[in-house]
A and B are shown apart, each in its own frame.
Chain A
Amino acid sequence: MANPLARVRATRHRLKETHPLSVLIAERLGLSLLLLWAVSILIFAGVEALPGDFAETYLGQSATPQAIANIRADLGLDRPITTRYFEWLGGVVQGDFGNSWASGAPVTEQITKRLGNSLFLAFFAAAISVPLAVGLGMVAVHYRNRIPDRVINVLSLAAISLPEFFIGYILIVFFAVQMGVATFPSTVYDNMSWSERLAAIALPTATLVMVVLAHMMRMTRAAIISVMSSAYMETAELKGLGAFKAIVKHAAPNAIAPIVNVVALNLAYLVVGVVVVEVVFVYPGMGQYMVDAVTVRDMPVVQACGLIFAAVYILLNMVADIVAIVANPRLRHPR
């Protein structure tokens, strides 16, 4: 009797011959789930390793050994770490992140609202930065090594070189304090109108756009230049095709994969990297929620935020991987 592992391997090999695309995508999905599980362990262990705990922080000056022990027992912290981990994991897979220690309210409810706010901000930043970056990348290629290309390069590099909190404060100083045209702080409420909301997020959106623009722009430029210098573009030119036709038909299909990859990475950064920007602009998103929770050692909230950030990051990278796989004719059409 062949051992089961060998049988799985043989099946995988056979499937890879007949359906390489489906197998690769399934593999990516499986790996992503595995990665997410590993991250959940890391987050739990990391939070556990933080110095100080909720009981001490919560009680502050009035902490007596007895009071601390009481709170720990209330929260179930006296039980072994593995029990608590699996209990937490069991809840998470059912969509229950537990209750906040500080407020007692369910974490899931709180996070849904906060995540919505963060995604709102990230969406507008992406809607502006992705077309802008791809467009600027194309302009840079068109004026390659000439003044417009250099200007675009230098400005976008300058923007990425400054830390986002610095850009944020500079924008606040100029647009909110000196010129008074922008809203600060960027706090949003439930009963705000759309226009008020948009006005509130103008500055944080601008900050995020400046931070992610350079990376995407430069990658677009590099991808297009690399494709344009390939032999098949020369073939297209020697076939007498016009420049526009050659780019649309011969360059674009081959430039998509690398561009999508860097766009996905930056979208992930938009969601995950907002922590600092949200704090600077006092924006009630996931980032600020997490920072507040860390200060008071509100572990269920920290764990939930960490896990959701990780999930977003992994998801977007997986999408980028899959797009790259699908865009590759060698995988779409096996020999």
Chain B
Amino acid sequence: MSDLLSVRDLRIGATIFPPGEAPMDIEIVHGVSFDLQKGKVLGLIGESGAGKSTIGLAALAYGRGGVRITGGEVLLDGQDILPLDKKGIRKIRGARVCYVAQSAAASFNPAHKLGDQVIEATVEHGLMSRDEARKRADYLFEILGLPDPKNFGNRFPHQVSGGQLQRAMTAMALCSKPELIVFDEPTTALDVTTQIDVLAAIKNAIEMTGTAALYITHDLAVVAQISDDIMVLRNGETVEYGPVQQIIENPRQEYTKALVNVRQTKQTEARDQSDALLKVENISAAYGNGVQVLHDVSLHVPRGQTLAVVGESGSGKSTLARVITGLLPPFQGSVTFGDEELSNAQKDRSRDHLRRIQLIYQMADTAMNPRQTVGQIIGRPLQFYFGKRGAERKKEVIKLLDEIEMGEAFYDRYPAELSGGQKQRVAIARALAAQPELILCDEPTSALDPLVAEGILDLLLRLQKERQVSYLFITHDIAIVRAIADSVAVMLQGKLVDFGPRSEVLNPPFDDYTDLLLKSVPEMELGWLEKVLATRKMESAGH
């Protein structure tokens, strides 16, 4: 079979502007080659910075920002598209090769109707008349499972949900009947229960239209469901390239093995969960606009253990953390810490109460002052809570830096000089500096690459053993819950739907929503998606 897309020794460069230095040219993709046949799907997988999006966009001869393609060939049906002039390349983009971006919400123009944007490229390239294109769009909306497909195109981007927008973007890419579509992390920004629908819709659409696809993601379990071949990338180089079955079941490279085996951390569940450190009773809370976000939530965190709070975006899990810290006083219910009831509002709490509950955020970036050094950031709670200064303070900070496996060398660094994982470690050290009994972790690993996240989880578990600190761990990731939780709370639309020891919540008999949540998490297993969809069909047929 002939190759539709053939990439030969692709080299991509960029100009970077290091502060205080002259601009520098660097190479970010170092000679990558692959072939894609008609109707096949190639998964590109790797951590952030691996160059996967850059390679995907090269299939449209496009470089984002200051990125330039500096060498190699991109052959589309045997023709190298890199030397084409502007007019030549415009004829390919949107007609023969289309792109689906990670954030459909930002990629649709807020000023125009979805339907007009979906058919724009097709009509513009003269591939169909306006009416034909509309008919095709309606058909695509239907096979992508969008509600009311006939009228969907009349809506504006802000009038539909994120999952629907992502499907509309897929329809936009499919509309011109392209030979190749580049999917750039199309489900990463979605909740798991939404992700599975979009994934199924994309897979179905690819099969029905026979288009080829490059599928870019950082989630090996997702790409395993949709690809024929997989290419693992790291730092702009190919690590491993082969059929999906070989990569998943028989990875050859150490790095691929680590990716396949990620999330193997296992914490044995604590037996006795009766010694409650934090008790939340009948909490109801609302924001200033009168919208109630928590409805009568009661749970407790056992001393020296981990309670995982799971739920989708908007389920109220972060709001619960805000109530516990006192940032959002509830209008009903109480928070008990140890033997004392905490004041509702943070400003009424004693300094000692504040010290005993610390926070770690999802975005370590925005949670640190970029103008302070690591030493200042970690030293601040030492001074604030314990009055430590000068040499004594520095000694303590260095001790903490050793505990988070970073060391003295980082004392004078600024946050901008740290990697994502290192920033999160510094945030952990800052929380530890206050010697807290409870740390509220708000999705601390969801912005990190899987292997880095793994390291953070290991660190948190080790610190828990050494210091007997309790965690309230907010996450949307069931795999993390399985790995680290002693007890689990499942939230849906501000209500607690399930709460108990991990072994009870995550094993049958299930609560309905917990069941749906668990079944929606992609598993590193070929044919998982089909299996889940088949079960769903059977269930809905049964009803």
Q: Counting CB contacts under 8 A, is A104 at the interface? A: no
For chain B, residues 393 to 446, give those with C-beta under 8 angstroms from any C-beta of chain A: none
**Interface-located stretch among A54-62, A213-221, A238-246:** A238-246
- B120 shortest CB reach to chain A, Å: 6
B110 touches which one: A234, A240, A249, A254 (CB < 8 A)?
Answer: A254
**Would A330 and B158 count as touching, CB distance under 8 A?**
yes
Q: How far is the CA of A275 from the CA of B381 in the complex (A)?
A: 56
Chain A residues in 8 Å Cβ range of B111? 250, 253-254, 329
Contact A241–B107 (Cβ < 8 Å): no
Q: Nearest 4 A-B pairs (CB), nearest first?
A: A239-B94, A240-B93, A240-B94, A231-B106
Report Cα–Cα, A257/B224, bound state, in Å. 45
The answer, yes or no, to whether B125 is at the interface (CB within 8 Å) is: yes
**Can you list 17 A-B contacts (CB < 8 A)?**
A231-B103, A231-B107, A232-B107, A239-B120, A240-B95, A240-B121, A240-B124, A241-B90, A241-B94, A241-B124, A249-B112, A250-B109, A253-B111, A254-B111, A329-B158, A335-B158, A335-B159
Residues of B46-100 whose CB lies within 8 A of A: 60, 62, 64, 89-95, 98-99
* Bound CA span A330–B157, Å: 9
Q: How far is the CA of A239 from the CA of B95 in the complex (A)?
A: 7
CB pair B90–A240 under 8 Å, yes or no, is yes
Nearest CB of A to B5, in Å: 16
- Say yes or no: A239-B109 contact (C-beta < 8 A), given A329-B156, A333-B156: no
A83 at interface by CB-CB < 8 Å: no
Cβ-closest chain A residue relative to B121: A239
User: Which A residues are in CB contact (< 8 Å) with B241?
Assistant: none
Do A235 and B158 touch (CB < 8 A)?
no
A214–B95 CA distance with the chains assembled, in angstroms: 42
Q: Are A329 and B110 in contact (CB under 8 A)?
A: yes
| Residue among B93, B103, B108, B158 making CB contact with A238, cutoff 8 Å | B93
A78 within 8 A of B: no
Across the interface, which residues of A come within 8 angstroms of B120, CB to CB? Answer: 239, 241
B301 at the interface (CB under 8 A from A): no
Near B by CB (< 8 A), chain A positions 193-242 give: 230-232, 234-242
Q: How many A-B residue pairs have C-beta atoms within 8 angstroms? Tell me.
A: 72
Indicate whether B101 reaches chain A with its CB closer than 8 angstroms.
yes
Contact flags B151-167 to A (C-beta < 8 A → 1, else 0): 00000101100000000
A 279-291 to B, binary, CB cutoff 8 A, 1 in contact else 0: 0000000000000
Inside 8 A of B90's CB, which chain A residues have their CB? 240-242
**Mask: chain A, 307-335; 1 = CB below 8 Å from B; 0 = not:** 00000000000000000000001100101
Residues from chain B with a CB closer than 8 A to the CB of A335 are: 158-159
Interface size counted on chain B using CB atoms at 8 A: 28
Give A155 Cβ to nearest chain B Cβ, in Å: 27
Instruction: State whether B124 touches A231 (Cβ < 8 A).
Output: no
Instruction: Tell whether, in the assembled complex, residue B93 and residue A239 are in contact, meaning their CB atoms are under 8 Å apart.
Output: yes
Supposing A240-B90, A254-B111, A335-B159 touch, asked if A234 and B125 sit within 8 A by C-beta, the answer is no
Q: Which among A230, A236, A238, A241 is the interface contact of B60 at CB below 8 angstroms?
A: A238
Q: Which residues on B sit within 8 Å (CB–CB) of A238?
A: 60, 62, 93-94, 98-99
CB distance from A119 to the nearest CB of B (A): 34
Determine the distance from Cα of A239 to Cα of B125 in the docked complex, in whole angstroms: 9
Query: Once the chains are docked, how many angstroms separate the CA of A329 from the CA of B120?
Result: 19
Q: Distance (Å) between the CB of A335 and the closest chain B CB?
A: 5
Contacts of B91 in A (CB 8 A): 240
Question: In the complex, what residues of B have CB within 8 A of residue A254's CB?
Answer: 109-111
CB pair A234 B156 closer than 8 Å: no
Chain B: which residue is nearest A256 at the CB level? B111
A235 touches B156 (CB 8 A): no
B residues near A333, Cβ cutoff 8 Å: 156, 158-159
Are B106 and A230 in contact, CB atoms less than 8 angstroms apart? yes
Give residues in B with beta carbon < 8 Å to A.
60, 62, 64, 89-95, 98-99, 101, 103, 106-112, 120-121, 124-125, 156, 158-159
Of residues 25 through 79 on chain A, the ones whose CB sits less than 8 Å from some CB of chain B are: none
- Sample of 14 further A-B pairs with CB below 8 A, known A240-B121, A241-B90: A232-B106, A232-B108, A234-B101, A236-B109, A238-B93, A238-B99, A239-B98, A240-B94, A245-B124, A253-B109, A329-B110, A330-B110, A333-B159, A335-B158
Q: How far is the CB of A255 from chain B (nearest CB, A)?
A: 10
A331 CB to closest chain B CB (Å) equals: 10
Inside 8 A of B159's CB, which chain A residues have their CB? 333, 335
Find chain B residues with CB under 8 A from A236 CB: 109
A237 touches B156 (CB 8 A): no
Q: Which of A234, A237, A240 contacts B92 (CB 8 A)?
A: A240
Is there an interface contact between B62 and A237, defined as CB atoms closer than 8 Å?
yes
Q: Which of A231, A235, A254, A333 counts the most B-chain CB atoms under 10 A from its CB?
A: A235
Minimum CB–CB distance from B457 to chain A (whole Å) comes to 32
In the bound assembly, the distance between CA atoms of A254 and B94 in angstroms comes to 22
User: How far, in whole Å, are A250 and B110 apart by their CA atoms in the complex?
Assistant: 9
Given contacts A230-B106, A240-B124, A329-B158, contact A235 B101 (CB under 8 A): yes
- Specify which chain A residues have a CB less than 8 angstroms from the CB of B121 in the assembled complex: 239-241
Q: Are B64 and A234 in contact (CB under 8 A)?
A: yes
A250 to B92, CA, bound (A): 20
Out of B95, B98, B107, B158, name the residue touching A234 (CB < 8 Å). B107
Residues of B within 8 Å of A249, CB to CB, are 112
Q: How far is the CB of A300 from chain B (nearest CB, A)?
A: 47
Distance of A330 Cα from B120 Cα, bound (Å): 21
Cβ contacts under 8 Å, A232 to chain B:
106-110
With most chain A CB atoms within 10 A of its CB, the pick from B62, B64, B158 is B158
B95 touches A235 (CB 8 A): no
CB distance from A17 to the nearest CB of B (A): 14
CB-defined contacts of B158 to chain A, threshold 8 Å = 329-330, 333, 335
> In the assembled complex, which residues on chain B have CB atoms less than 8 Å from the CB atom of A330?
110, 156, 158
Complex CA gap A42/B158 in Å reads 43
User: In the complex the two chains form, what is the Cα distance from A239 to B124 in whole Å?
Assistant: 9
Closest CB of chain B to A145's CB: distance in Å? 12
Complex Cα–Cα for A93 and B99 (A): 61
Contacting residue for B108 out of A235, A240, A242, A253, CB 8 A:
A235
> 0/1 per residue, A243-277, Cβ < 8 Å to B?
00100011001100000000000000000000000
A320 to B112, CA, bound (A): 22
Q: Closest A residue to B97 by CB, please name it.
A: A238
Return B495 CB to nearest CB of chain A, in Å.
24
**For A230, what are the chain B residues with a Cβ–Cβ distance below 8 Å?**
106
A254 to B109, CA, bound (A): 9
A249 CA / B158 CA spacing, docked (Å): 18
Residue of A nearest to B125 (CB): A240
B140 to chain A minimum Cβ distance, whole angstroms, is 16
**Interchain nearest-CB distance for B165 vs A (Å):** 12
How distant is A320 from chain B, measured CB to nearest CB, in Å? 18
B77 to chain A, nearest CB (A): 17
Interfacial chain B residues near A239, Cβ < 8 Å? 93-94, 98, 120-121, 124
CA distance A254 to B120 in the complex (A): 18
Once bound together, how far apart are the Cα atoms of A165 and B432, in whole Å? 62
Q: Which residues of A contact B108 (CB under 8 A)?
A: 232, 235
Residues of B within 8 A of A237 (CB): 62, 93
Complex CA–CA separation, A240 to B120 (angstroms): 10
Measured in the bound complex, the distance between the Cα atoms of B94 and A241 in whole Å is 8
B60, B109, B112 interface centre (most CB from chain A within 10 Å): B109
Residues of A contacting B92 with CB < 8 Å? 240
Which residue of the partner chain B has the closest CB to A245? B124
Rounded to whole Å, the gap between the CB of B53 and the closest CB of chain A is 12
Q: How far, in Å, is A154 (CB) from chain B's closest CB? A: 22
Which of A232, A249, A254 lies at the interface centre, i.e. has the most chain B CB atoms within 10 A of its CB?
Answer: A232
CB distance from A45 to the nearest CB of B (A): 35
A14 CB to nearest chain B CB (Å): 15
Task: Output the least CB separation between B230 and chain A (Å).
Answer: 24
Closest to B116 in A: A249
Question: Nearest residue in B to A241 (C-beta to C-beta)?
Answer: B124
